[in-house]
Structure 1
Amino acid sequence: MTEQSAEFDELDYDVTVVGGGPAGLTAALYATRLGLDTAVVNRGGGRAAMMRDTHNVVGVTEDTTGAEFLQTAQRQVREYGADYRQAFVDDVEPLDDAGSEGAGDDGAGGFRVSVDGDAHTSRRVVLATGFSDERPDPPLPPTGRGLHYCLHCDAYMFVDEPVFVMGTGDSAAYVAMIMLNVTGEVDLLTRGAEPTWSDETAAMLDAHPVDVIDDEIAGMNKDDEGWLESFEFEDGTVREYRGGFPMYGSNYNADLADALELDRNDDGTVAVDDHGRTSVDGVYAVGDLTPGHNQIPVAMGEGAKAGIALHMDLRAFPRSVEEIEAAGPVGTDEVPAISPDLLATAVAHPGHAAGPRAEEASGSDGESETVADD
């Protein structure tokens, strides 16, 4: 382990990331590459894992499934030296001296992370547990083949195609009106429930060419590839759709956040600063658990910022003037401030300056090859 201070000498990890989506894996990648011993504990599943195609991620082709995307990210994190485990985190609790005076110059004494009946200790914890979409009652098409949860990801798929939006609240009405930007055929399906949108929203909805269908869905038809073709309604009508968006809200996976007594916003998200720091010292939160657009690139950006913030919070050097006065100048035996395991992994990694990739770029006599400009 990195030896920044005596309080942390016996802790198992510098950083534990709870959750293995794009935000959590990016935070782990940055933390590990910046010299912090990192563990990722991922229960599996999640919104990204359900994706049949990946949209809006520069450099990632659309034929990449969410599972493939995440598997690549998991492999990258492990290859840089992080520990990755598929398991469930039962609890996160501050160590006895966490938050107490003298528990460390950075204000947190570390945490005990309980994982499937086992436990380890960690200087910092990153919560990347996301949320679960509220799923409407069947009949429903398959997710990704007519049932979609991300307007910004999937609206492009339905340009000039008939689409539906399910729901009775303001968000459903707004999404239905937003979809008019890409198609002229939009139905809002209340499925027999009474609308709860506001009078202002109702006035807006009346001024937009959106058909509100009150009848419940009685049946569904799909094409040979499993894509939605149409819904059959209880009044006997059949209406064609290529896909649509259920808008019934989300349930935040915030049990650990509540156990740690993190501040939460009115919408249920965990309150964070611009670098993912929460109201409890030493605890970070990133991704769909926090405010903002629920998008992979946004989540990755949040993970990156949290990873850099963790590095800045935990790095041993530079030693401040006060620390120099207390502990003396930095000795040659104290550097580099990286654990032996991460040091060995970094030196052997293809991305290291002296690693296999650098050797392949050199000539047989060890001198670097020079490529002339065309």
Structure 2
Amino acid sequence: MSKELNIEVYSKDWCPYCKKAKAFLKSKGLNFTEIDINQGDNYEVMQERTGNKTVPQIIINNQSLGGYDDIINLEKNGEFNPLIGREVKDHSAKEWELIILGAGPAALNAALYAVRKGIDLLLLTKDIGGQVINTSEIDNYLGKAETTGAQLIYDFWDHIAKYDVKTAIGEEAVEIGSRNGKKVIKTDNNKEYVTESVIMATGAQKRHLGLKQEYVLSGKGVHYCASCDAFLYKGQPTAVVGGGNSGLEAAIDLANIDCQVDLIEIQDKLMGDEYLQERVKNSENITVHTSTKVSQIKGEDKLESVVIENVKDQSTKELNVDGLFIEIGLIANSDFVKELVETNEAKEIIINAKNETGVEGIWAAGDVTNIIDKQIITSAAEGAKAALRVNQYLG
């Protein structure tokens, strides 16, 4: 029986990790009080109570648990349920009809369609939300005008919470094998999950530049999520790598908080949507460098500067910036099945019109696959399609 709980979440509106934390609590069927750190002295009180300056901060019955990553680690290690007076349930102890890997639009819509068909399913995911969680502005998802990726994912989880969808959050699939005609999914904490069918909706992750100091300075000036970390650089010089939609949005976000932004694109023109390009061109805070790449990242304990190189004449220039945001595309999260299913050069899983992978009992959906259009709404639709095909398969 659950004990009396007082759950408090210190957060702010635009914070993606705050939405992820709240979505996790929703997935547990937990009620909580949200405290906006921008109101009154809430930020100072949060620091006094938790000893931390970042959001979210989660407190249960006056016990500070930390941020989003902290509660996910507690869940992964079986330590969260005891804090809320619940038994730790080992979902690897039974066989499932379907296991869905992932927690973005494709995975969540697959779960919605599958549970409504009466399929006994488990949603297994390392993280909540997928890459969409970091999208600062969405205005092309029907019925959700002028929302954010974080809010949209929260709304998805709020919908899923109406159904009895079992979850294993914080665990990462590292291998899929077979045993006695069933699929066996091994995870990073040495558990094995047995299922009749699998939908892979593991999405994609940010592509890196591959420069030496990029990894050393990650989180120390080098970032991959402007909507998460732009606020750290208010009024400071910054640079953004990437002229697609994500890069343009990052540059606009930074310019809006009085940053001087150098926008770097290796192609000879920006590649993002026209309306975003217009906003970039009309901003006095953004300087665009096309036909240009980052050749060096400098700094030891923190970012100090980046060296950019014109790819046509090899001329170089050093930019003194405090923050570097890398937005150069995605790479599919499929490494753990590359010997099992067919993939292309981008590591995308090749599927047919029925979301089949060529391996019986395994379907794939969303940005981990070779679908051409990488959009939130198409990923959600692909998840629904895959779930319907699984329903036919299970009979």
* TM-score of the aligned structures, taking structure 2 as reference length: 0.54
Write the deviation string for residues 175-207 of structure 1: whole angstroms up to 9, x where unpaired. 2797757664743242345566xxxxx7xxx9x
Q: CA deviation at 1:119?
A: 2.4
Residue aligning to 1:166 = 264
Letter paired with 1:306: A
Q: Distance in 1 between matches of 2:335 and 2:175?
A: 10
Q: CA deviation at 1:28?
A: 1.2
Counterpart of 1:56 in 2: which secondary structure? coil
Residue aligning to 1:123 = 196
Letter paired with 1:264: T
Q: CA deviation at 1:152?
A: 4.7
Matches for 1:1-374 after TM superposition, within 5 Å: 12-44=95-127, 46-66=130-150, 68-97=151-180, 109-115=181-187, 116-135=189-208, 137=214, 139=221, 143-144=226-227, 145=230, 151-152=244-245, 165-168=263-266, 170=267, 173=269, 175=271, 184=281, 186-188=288-290, 189-191=292-294, 192=307, 214-220=316-322, 246=326, 248-259=328-339, 261-291=340-370, 292-315=372-395
Q: 1:176 to 1:164 in 2, by over 3 A?
A: farther
Q: Distance in 2 between matches of 1:177 and 1:62?
A: 16
Residue aligning to 1:335 = none
Q: CA deviation at 1:143?
A: 0.8
CA-based RMSD of the aligned residues comes to 3.9
Q: 1:247 to 1:82 in 2, by over 3 A?
A: closer
Q: Distance in 1 between matches of 2:107 and 2:126?
A: 12
Q: 1:89 to 1:184 in 2, by over 3 A?
A: closer
Contact 1:187 1:213 in 2 (8 A): no
Structure 2: any 5+ residue segments left out of the alignment?
Answer: 1-92, 231-237, 283-287, 295-306
Q: Which has the higher contact order (CA 8 A, sep 6+)?
A: 1
Contact 1:23 1:303 in 2 (8 A): yes
Contact 1:31 1:308 in 2 (8 A): yes
Q: Distance in 1 between matches of 2:114 and 2:243?
A: 29
Q: CA deviation at 1:69?
A: 2.5
Structure 1: any 5+ residue segments left out of the alignment?
Answer: 1-9, 98-108, 197-201, 207-211, 222-230, 232-244, 316-374
Contact 2:115 2:165 in 1 (8 A): yes
Q: 1:274 to 1:154 in 2, by over 3 A?
A: farther
Q: CA deviation at 1:165?
A: 4.4
Q: Distance in 2 between matches of 1:194 and 1:155?
A: 20
Q: Distance in 1 between matches of 2:205 and 2:317?
A: 27
Q: 1:298 to 1:152 in 2, by over 3 A?
A: farther
Q: Distance in 1 between matches of 2:262 and 2:327?
A: 11
Number of corresponding residues = 256
Q: Distance in 1 between matches of 2:273 and 2:388?
A: 39
Counterpart of 1:219 in 2: which secondary structure? coil
Q: 1:274 to 1:176 in 2, by over 3 A?
A: closer
Q: 1:118 to 1:150 in 2, by over 3 A?
A: farther
The structure where strand makes up a greater share of residues is 2
Contact 1:90 1:114 in 2 (8 A): yes
Q: CA deviation at 1:51?
A: 3.0
Letter paired with 1:215: K
Contact 2:186 2:193 in 1 (8 A): yes
Counterpart of 2:167 in 1: which secondary structure? strand
Contact 1:78 1:84 in 2 (8 A): no
Q: 1:153 to 1:135 in 2, by over 3 A?
A: closer
Counterpart of 2:321 in 1: which secondary structure? strand
Q: 1:74 to 1:213 in 2, by over 3 A?
A: farther
